């Protein structure tokens, strides 16, 4: 029962872990669940929401990949969750809080990956996917009611980026797990696409982390655990922090900016810009559900486009801009 689990948290978790009974609570008070802790409840609310399901058709790095095995925003989220839970378990942190944050961290991501994020930032003057993720869970989900999550989950979602400062160690674990996941699975996808080969990875990085994807992930995870165990913070050792920074720089140079994986981004960018301008000129085309919480066209157009999957954005583009055949 829930009482047994709360007792387990109190007796077993690290003194620096966040305990479910100590949550700062929700924006709106609700009746407690007789079986689940507050963080378990948040996890379930995220898994069952529409924005979570839409992640399966949102780009991670490769736009409209031909193979079945490339990552999507959903599989990225699941890999982040697995890595984050492993770290939290080893450090005796709250796995349920960690899992809820990880599952929700990218709910506000746009279609076509970071290309979509850059378009909305350009068109509106300010757009960040972590802020949009918080807006999704606070406002947009459940027909405009929001998911009413706990403070700690909301804080972790907002602060999951590398420059964020989450209030809990569980939130910081997710931030590191996000970087570990995307760097390593993006290498894997780039190799599958023939953009990278094992010999391309700098030798000093492979010497420290290992050659295979699993070895690299395990090396990063072990280092974080060793550097953080028994401490009131989450950290990397200096040489692993440098390796992560060097690997990220390498991926930006070889994959994220100039590679064949990004050739379609210019078209996706142009398409989303045209869609945004079209809805600016015709705001009534935006579904009425997006206007329940705001009459500001810039906001409800952004909410609508940010929530689109790649496929739905393409469908809307064809509907608004591609001539229909005469019958």
Note the pLDDT tens digit of each residue in 130-165. Answer: 999 999 999 999 988 999 999 999 999 999 999 999
Write down the domain spans for the chain. 2-321
User: What pLDDT is recorded for position 327?
Assistant: 59
Query: What CATH number matches the domain at 2-321, 1.10.3210.10, 3.10.150.10, 3.40.50.1370, 1.20.140.10?
Result: 1.10.3210.10
Residue range 280-287: average pLDDT? 96
Burial 265-282 (b: 16+ CB within 10 A, else e): beebbebbeebbebbeee
In whole angstroms, give the CA distance from residue 312 to residue 57: 9
Q: Name the burial class of residue 70, with classes exposed (0-12), middle (13-18) and buried (19+) by CB atoms within 10 angstroms of its CB.
A: buried
Which residues, at least 6 apart from 27, have a Cβ–Cβ distance to it below 8 Å? Answer: 138, 146, 148
pLDDT attached to residue 65: 58
pLDDT of residue 263: 74
Residues 6+ apart with CB under 8 A from 174: 80, 84, 98, 101, 102, 105, 156, 160, 166
Query: Which residues are within 8 A (CB) of 64 and not within 5 positions of it... i.e. 6 or more apart?
Result: 264, 310
Read off the pLDDT of residues 18-68 as tens digits, 9 standing for 90 and up. 999 999 999 999 999 999 999 999 999 999 999 999 999 998 876 665 667
Tally the C-alpha atoms within 13 A of residue 124's C-alpha that lie toward its C-beta: 23
């Amino acid at each position: 029962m829930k009482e047994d689990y709360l007792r387990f948290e109190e007796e077993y978790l690290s003194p620096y872990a966040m305990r479910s009974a100590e949550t700062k609570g929700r924006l709106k008070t609700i009746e407690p669940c007789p079986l689940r802790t507050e963080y378990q409840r948040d996890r379930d609310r995220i898994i069952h929401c529409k924005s979570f399901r839409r992640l399966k058709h949102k780009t991670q790095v490769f736009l409209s990949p031909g193979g079945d095995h490339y990552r999507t925003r959903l599989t990225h989220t699941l890999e982040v969750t697995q890595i984050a839970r492993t770290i939290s378990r080893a450090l005796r942190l709250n796995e349920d809080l960690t899992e809820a944050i990880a599952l929700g961290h990218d709910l506000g991501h746009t279609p076509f990956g970071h290309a979509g994020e850059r378009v909305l930032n350009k068109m509106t003057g300010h757009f960040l996917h972590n802020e949009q993720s918080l807006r999704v869970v606070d406002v947009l989900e459940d027909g405009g009611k929001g998911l009413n999550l706990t403070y700690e989950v909301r804080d972790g979602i907002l602060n999951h980026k590398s420059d964020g400062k989450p209030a809990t160690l569980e939130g910081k674990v997710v931030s590191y797990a996000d970087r570990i996941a995307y760097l390593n699975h993006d290498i894997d996808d780039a190799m599958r696409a023939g953009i990278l080969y094992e010999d391309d990875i700098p030798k000093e990085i492979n010497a420290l982390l290992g050659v295979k994807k699993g070895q690299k992930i395990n090396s990063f995870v072990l280092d974080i655990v060793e550097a953080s165990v028994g401490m009131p913070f989450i950290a990397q050792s200096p040489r692993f922090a440098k390796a992560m920074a060097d690997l990220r720089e390498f991926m930006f140079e070889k994959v994220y900016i100039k590679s064949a994986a990004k050739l379609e981004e210019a078209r996706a960018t142009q398409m989303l810009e045209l869609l945004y301008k079209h809805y600016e000129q015709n705001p009534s085309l935006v579904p009425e559900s997006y206007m329940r919480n705001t009459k500001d066209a810039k906001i409800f157009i952004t909410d609508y486009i940010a929530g689109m999957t790649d496929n739905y954005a393409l469908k809307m583009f064809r509907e608004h801009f591609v001539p229909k055949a005469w019958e």
